[in-house]
Chain A
Amino acid sequence: MALEFSPETFRKFEETVARYPKKEAAMLPVLYLAQREFGCLNAEAIAYVAKLMDQSPARVYGVVSFYTMLNMKPIGRHHIQVCRTLPCALRGAATITGFVKKSLGIEIGQTTPDGTFTLSEVECLASCGTAPMMQINDEYFENLTQERVAEILEQLK
């Protein structure tokens, strides 16, 4: 069955595009709709968005491959993104990452076998004053300690 938006999402797509001076400017908001609907932006999703946006699949692929928050492959239910940039590194980010690796039994870039958690290291999330910290899906978790991380992972299982 061909990939396509539900009627409700298609309505959101039309409303979104209508606000921009040119259709192509709505590329990122439309890709977010597609990622939420389809789970990830694989080749099929990219071809569908390209058709909707009157762009070539190559151009859409160029956009998707550029931004870190657009995923071409599926990821776990909870995407754990630990900040690794200098201010967090100075306050023990490596210890937090090591603890998550050990707790979940996965390396950076991997997903737990049951599909619950994916672990990534990311760059500065504008939360340096509450370092070390991590982002899980859309939420920030700040002032982390190993104890806090253990609690958070437990709640999300």
Chain B
Amino acid sequence: MEKVLLRNIDIPDSHTLGVYQSRGGYSALAKVIQSMKPEGLIEEIKTSGLRGRGGAGFPTGMKWGFVPKDNPKPKYLVCNADESEPGTFKDRLLIEKDPHAIIEGTLIAAYAIQSHLAFIYIRGELAFGAQLLEDAVAEATRAGYIGKNIFASGYDLDLIVHRGAGAYICGEETALLSSLEGGRGWPKVKPPFPATHGLFGCPTVVNNVETLAALPWIIERGAAAYSAMGTEKSKGTKLFSVSGHIRNPGVYELEMGYPFRKFLEEDCGGVPDGRKLKGVIPGGASMPVLRDDEIDKVNLDYESVQAAGSLLGSGGVIVMDDTTCMVRAAWNIARFYAHESCGQCSPCREGCHWMEKIFHRIELGQGESGDLDLILNVSANIMGNTICPFGDAAAMPAAAFIRKYRDEFEQHIAEKRCTVPN
């Protein structure tokens, strides 16, 4: 498989303009600005089948197409570098090792929607990454790729690197925009969507780092080359972040549709220390856990994981062996969501803390009969009743852990302690 996203990261000084240019960098931007019209560019990306890589998997070209062309307001393009989904660290790798690919992709996307001001919103904790991006933006500006009259085309485009300050919710696009407007990271009701009413009410597109980093390759090699890879509904390649009880953790680039079991056992080295696989979360902490006996029919693409009852999400693969107490794991994730809830809507604000408290009581040996059904009830009442998908992201894993490991939960409650041998 030819690498699209990780093609530069092993080259020394890959983060510098010199190295990036020596490997063909910014030739895609030149092609776009000098010889493509925005409509043609949007069509090309639609044809490629590229889907958003932040977690939602929405077709990228289609999203760009929603921006109204005759609207007199300024358009904004925002690169979502707020990577905070537990188990996910692929964007950070791209930021640190290939910042120019992200910048070039951001500029290409900005051109597609005729934006003259783009932002890279990067989570505050990635201070090193933000500095690398600032340095790369300075290099690109000096080289004339950012600023006025790019490639003597008359097209102006500025790019601001904007640091967040610690809030998982700011990875949700409308919360990100609230934050970028200078406020608390509060999501907004959709519709209207950012494409028509985004930053300061202007047409805005928010794209994930990985989505944007794929654009230079797609422009250089053509949409057909990208869509030749992957499956019918999941084109191209995707980055998977692997962590937990696994021999070879790290970021892997795979063609969509790669078999999950093969990936874990062969590429990632399997579960170490003679232990057995007990469960694995395929797409970041928001997504339902899969038991060992469920993954043989799963391929790593959107449709296959969905058919198995989970979601590909961010591709954050969290591996748990048979020493793992699933009550404790479920509590850990519930605690994450309780902490990160923005507090706007009652089902999430109250429900997340409620679920965390119940999981914690169970974990401590103070579980009561009725607790599990109560969590399932709370979860069901959060799902679909919130301003943004955060509520669903908290509700799904809580219900999934109980559904998949009910016996263990009931035993933990009955015996007032963890019964997993470790």
Contacts and interface: CB of A to CB of B under 8 A. Distances in A.
Q: Do A and B come from one complex?
A: yes
Contact of B163 (A20, A29, A66): A29
Contact of A139 (B89, B128, B166): B128
A85 B86 contact: yes
Nearest 4 A-B pairs (CB), nearest first?
Answer: A68-B166, A27-B182, A128-B243, A67-B165
A126 B181 contact: no
Interface string B127-144: 110000000000000000
Interface in B327-383: 328-329, 332-333, 336, 339-340, 342
Interface residues of B, number: 57
Contacts of A140: 128
Interface of B: 74, 83-89, 91-92, 117, 123-128, 158, 160, 162-168, 179-185, 199-200, 241-245, 249-251, 285, 316, 318-320, 324, 328-329, 332-333, 336, 339-340, 342
9 contacts: A22-B181, A67-B164, A70-B166, A90-B329, A91-B244, A126-B91, A127-B89, A128-B316, A129-B250
Given A129-B251, A139-B128, A66 B88 contact: no
Contacts of A21: 74, 117, 199-200
A134 B405 CA distance: 31
A69 B166 contact: yes
Contacts of B179: 28
B331 to A, nearest CB: 10
A124 B200 contact: no
B89 A68 contact: no
Given A66-B167, A123-B340, A29 B84 contact: no
Given A20-B160, A124-B86, A128-B87, A86 B285 contact: yes
Given A66-B167, A90-B244, A127-B89, A19 B285 contact: no
A24 B181 contact: yes
Contacts of B316: 128
Contacts of A125: 125
B182 A25 contact: yes
Interface in A19-77: 19-22, 24-29, 31-32, 53, 55, 59, 62-63, 66-70
B88 A128 contact: yes
A131 interface: yes
Nearest to A20: B160
Interface in A76-108: 84-87, 89-91
A67 B245 contact: no
B165 A123 contact: no
Contacts of B180: 25
Contacts of B165: 28, 31-32, 67-70
A154 interface: no
A97 B327 CA distance: 21
